Chain A
Amino acid sequence: MLAELPDAITLFMGDLRLIGFVCLGVVLGVFVGAVPGLTATLAIALLLPFTFGMPALEAVVLMTGIFVGGIYGGSATAIMVRVPGAPANTMTMLDGYEMLKQGKPEVALGLATAASVFGGLVGGILLILFAPQLARFSLKFQSPEIFALVVLALVAVAAVSQQSLVKGLIATVIGLMISTVGIDLAGVPRYTFEMFRLYTGVPLIPLVIGLFALAEVLRRLEEPHSRPKQVAWVSFRRIFAFVPVWRQVGWKLPLKSSLIGAVIGALPGAGAAMAAFLAYAEAKRSSPHPEKFGTGIPEGIVAPEASNNAMTGGAFIPMLAFGIPGDAVTAVILGALVIQGIVPGPQLFSQAGDLVLPLMVGFIFAYLVLMIVGLVMLPWFARVAVIDHAVLFPIIAAVAVVAAYVSERSVFAMATMVAIGIGAWLMQRLHFSLVPVLLGVILGPLLERNFRRALGISGGDPAILVSSWIAVILLLTAAFMAFYFAWVQPRQQRRHEAQAAKARGEAENTGGGA
C-alpha cells in the first residue's frame, strides 16, 4: 500500500479543493479549540449536515483539519489567559502561563506550535505505517472476533471515559439500546412506536448535534457567568524566538512524548487529555530537575503538546483499521463516514483505497498548514477567549437546532435533536459520560449483526463466540479491564486518599504542636 503513497500525494496536491478544505478545517479547528467550551467534537457535530452532500474525501479532510486545529488551538488560551481551550491543554497551561509571566509569551506560543506540529507529524507517520498493517491483520476477523473487538472497545471507552465504570457501562448500553430503534436485520420494526420516521432508526446527525452541541450549551448555562479576560498582545517580530529554546530541549523529549501520545490515541477512549497528562508526568519523572516543572520551563510545554497532537494520528489507526474510534472526535468522524455509506475497517482499505491514503496525506498536510497558521495567527486566536459567552453560545444553540432541521429537512429531526440534547444534559448532570452513548449507537448495529451471524452459523451455540484465540484474547482483555476499573482502581484511589488525609492530619498536628 505504501507503494501507492506517491500517487496519493500527487492526487492530493493536485486538488485545490482538498487543500482548501484542509486549510479551512485547520483555521476553524484552531478557532474552536481556542474558545474555552468549544471543542472539535462540537464543531464537527455541527458540520455533519453540511458534509453530508460533499464528496467523502473532502468531508473527511475538512473534519481532519478541524481535529488537528482543535487539539492545538486550546494551547493559545492556556498560555495567554490561563484558560485551557480543552482539557488536553491543561498541562500546557502550567508552564505556559508561567513563561508568559516571565515576559516570554512568544517563546511559549512558539514552543507549543512546534511541539504540536512535531507530535502531529510523528502521529501521522505512525498512522501511515501501522494502519494498513492492522487492517491486513483484521482481515482474519470473522463474526466472533469482530463481536469480541466491539465488546472490548465499548468496555474500554466506558472504563476510561469517567470515574465510575458502572455509569460508563450504563451509558454504553443506553447507546446500544438507541441503536436497536428501527427495522432490524430481518425487517422487524423495533421500538418505533408506529412512527414511520423511526423505521430507519434514530437519525444520526441530530443525535450527534444533540449530544455534543445543545447539551454543552445547557451545561454552560449552569455555570456562573464569568467576565472575559484581557489578553496581552504578542509581537510578530519574535515569532521565531522559540528556536534556540527548542534546540536546548533537543529531540529526545518531543519524540518520546509523541510516541506516548500515539499509543494512548490508539487505545479506545483514552483521549488527548490523558496523553498530555502522561507525557507531562513522564517528562517530569525523567527530568534531572523535576522541581522546576510548573515554573515555566520549556519541557513542560513541549511534552504535553507533542503528546496530545500525536494522539490524533494514533486515534485514527483503530478507526481506519477496525472501525473502532480512539476518542470522541474520531467517533464523530466515524459517524460521518457511516452517514456517507463508508464502513471503516479492512474493507475500507480494499474497497475505498482512494479515500484512505489521500486522507493520511491530508492529515500530514494539515500539520504543515498548522505550522504556518499557528505561528502567524496564534496571537490573534488567543484573543477569541475574550468573546462573551452570552454572544457565542446563543449562536451555537441556534445553529445546532437549525442544522438539525437542515439535516433531514424536518421538524421531527429538530425535535429529536432537542430531546436528545436535553437527555444528554441530564445525563451529564448525573455524571454519565456521553462518548460511550455515541459509541454504543454507532457500534450497536455492528455488534448485533456479528452476534446474530455467529449464532446463526453455530445453530445457536454461544460457544462460537470464544472459538478462536483472537476472540478469547480480546474478551479476556475486556474482562480484565472491567475488573481493574471496577475493583482494583477504586481501592487504589481510596488508599491514596486515605494516605493523603493522614499526611494532612499529621502536618496539621505538627503545626498545631509548634
Chain B
Amino acid sequence: MHLPRKLLRGDAVIGVILLALALWYGLEAQGFRPGRAGDPGAGMFPTLLALLLGGLALWLIVSALIAPPGAEETDPERRARQRAIALAGFIRAAIAAALSVAFVALFETLGYIIATGLYAAAISLLFRRDNLLITLLAAAGAVGFLHLLFSVFLNARLPMGLLG
C-alpha cells in the first residue's frame, strides 16, 4: 500500500525530530563514566542506540522522500469532510490528553472523588454531548467503581482533598 503524500511528508519531519533526539541522547552518553578493559562502560550501549536511531531516522527520511505517493481522495468535497472529521477527532483526543494532565495536577488537591467525577464526566462529554444521563452515569460509575475497587476491596489510601 502506498502511503499518501501528506503522511510521507510527515514521516520526513518525524525523521528529523528523531535525528535530533538521537544526537542529544548520544551526546549525553559521552558524559557517562568511560569504559575500561573488561567493561565497555555506561556510555557504550546508549552510544550504540543513538547511532542506531540516527541511522533509522535517516532511513525514514530517505524512504519518505523517494517513496511514490499513494492515491489521495480526489473529490475535494469528500476530502474536506474527511479532514474535518480527522481534525475534530484529533481535537477531542488532545483535549482529553490535557484533561488527564489536569487530573494529575489536581488529584491531591481536589481529592480522588471530586477529581475522578469531573474527569470521567469531561471525558464522557467528549464522546457524546447529547445525553446528560450518560455523562452522569459515566461520572458516577467511575467514582463508584474506583471507590469499591481501591478503597473497599484493596484498602488503598487515596487522597480525599476537599472532602478530607
Name the distance in Å between A65's Cβ and chain B's nearest Cβ.
Answer: 18
Of A399, A411, A415, the contact of B146 (CB 8 Å cutoff): A399
6 tightest A-B CB contacts, nearest first: A222-B89, A390-B127, A188-B42, A394-B120, A394-B123, A398-B142
Return the chain B residue nearest A227 by Cβ.
Answer: B128
Name the distance in Å between A441's Cβ and chain B's nearest Cβ.
Answer: 13
Contacts of A223 in B (CB 8 A): 89
Q: How many residues of B contact A (CB 8 A)?
A: 70
* Central interface residue in B18, B42, B135, B146, by most chain A CB within 10 Å: B42
CB within 8 Å for A411 and B38 given contacts A399-B146, A402-B116, A452-B44 = no
- Tell yes or no: B162 within 8 A of A by CB: no
What's the Cα separation between A422 and B29 when bound, in Å? 26
Return the chain B residue nearest A486 by Cβ.
Answer: B59
* B124 and A221 contact, CB distance less than 8 A: no
Contacts of B121 in A (CB 8 A): 394
Contacts of A170 in B (CB 8 A): 18, 53, 56-57, 60
* B25 and A406 contact, CB distance less than 8 A: no
Quick one: CB contact mask for B100-143 with A, threshold 8 Å, 1 for yes? Answer: 11011001100010001001110110111001001101110110
> Residues of B at under 8 Å CB distance from A?
1-2, 7, 10-11, 14, 18, 25, 28-29, 32-33, 35, 37-42, 44-46, 49, 52-53, 56-57, 59-60, 63, 85-86, 89-90, 92-93, 96-97, 100-101, 103-104, 107-108, 112, 116, 119-121, 123-124, 126-128, 131, 134-135, 137-139, 141-142, 145-146, 149-150, 154, 156-158
What's the Cα separation between A170 and B11 when bound, in Å? 12
Of B28, B53, B128, B149, the contact of A191 (CB 8 Å cutoff): B28
Return the chain B residue nearest A412 by Cβ.
Answer: B104
Return the chain B residue nearest A426 by Cβ.
Answer: B97
What's the Cα separation between A166 and B62 when bound, in Å? 11
Quick one: CB contact mask for A96-119 with B, threshold 8 Å, 1 for yes? Answer: 000000000000000000000000
> Residues of A at under 8 Å CB distance from B?
50, 163, 166-167, 169-170, 173-174, 176-177, 180, 184-186, 188, 190-191, 214, 217-219, 221-225, 388-391, 393-395, 397-399, 401-402, 405-406, 409, 411, 414-415, 418, 421-422, 425, 429-431, 448, 451-452, 455-456, 459-460, 493-494, 497
Return the chain B residue nearest A404 by Cβ.
Answer: B104
5 example contacts (A-B, Cβ-Cβ < 8 A) are as follows: A170-B56, A395-B141, A395-B145, A398-B145, A406-B158
Contacts of B123 in A (CB 8 A): 217, 221, 393-394, 397-398
Contacts of A406 in B (CB 8 A): 150, 154, 156, 158
Contacts of A422 in B (CB 8 A): 97, 100-101
What's the Cα separation between A421 and B149 when bound, in Å? 22
What's the Cα separation between A177 and B39 when bound, in Å? 20
* B104 and A456 contact, CB distance less than 8 A: no
Contacts of B135 in A (CB 8 A): 390
Of A219, A221, A224, A448, the contact of B85 (CB 8 Å cutoff): A224
Contacts of B49 in A (CB 8 A): 173, 176-177, 180
Contacts of A418 in B (CB 8 A): 97, 100-101, 103-104
* A180 and B46 contact, CB distance less than 8 A: yes
* A391 and B150 contact, CB distance less than 8 A: no
CB within 8 Å for A391 and B134 given contacts A222-B92, A222-B93, A401-B104 = yes
Given contacts A180-B46, A406-B154, 9 further A-B contacts (CB under 8 A): A170-B60, A173-B53, A177-B46, A221-B93, A394-B123, A399-B146, A405-B107, A429-B90, A460-B37
What's the Cα separation between A369 and B28 when bound, in Å? 53
CB within 8 Å for A399 and B33 given contacts A214-B100, A406-B156 = no
Name the distance in Å between A448's Cβ and chain B's nearest Cβ.
Answer: 5
CB within 8 Å for A402 and B42 given contacts A163-B1, A214-B100, A221-B126 = no
Contacts of B116 in A (CB 8 A): 398, 402
Name the distance in Å between B147's Cβ and chain A's nearest Cβ.
Answer: 10
Contacts of B119 in A (CB 8 A): 394, 397-398, 401
* B32 and A425 contact, CB distance less than 8 A: no
* A411 and B104 contact, CB distance less than 8 A: yes
* A460 and B40 contact, CB distance less than 8 A: yes
Return the chain B residue nearest A448 by Cβ.
Answer: B45
Return the chain B residue nearest A53 by Cβ.
Answer: B154
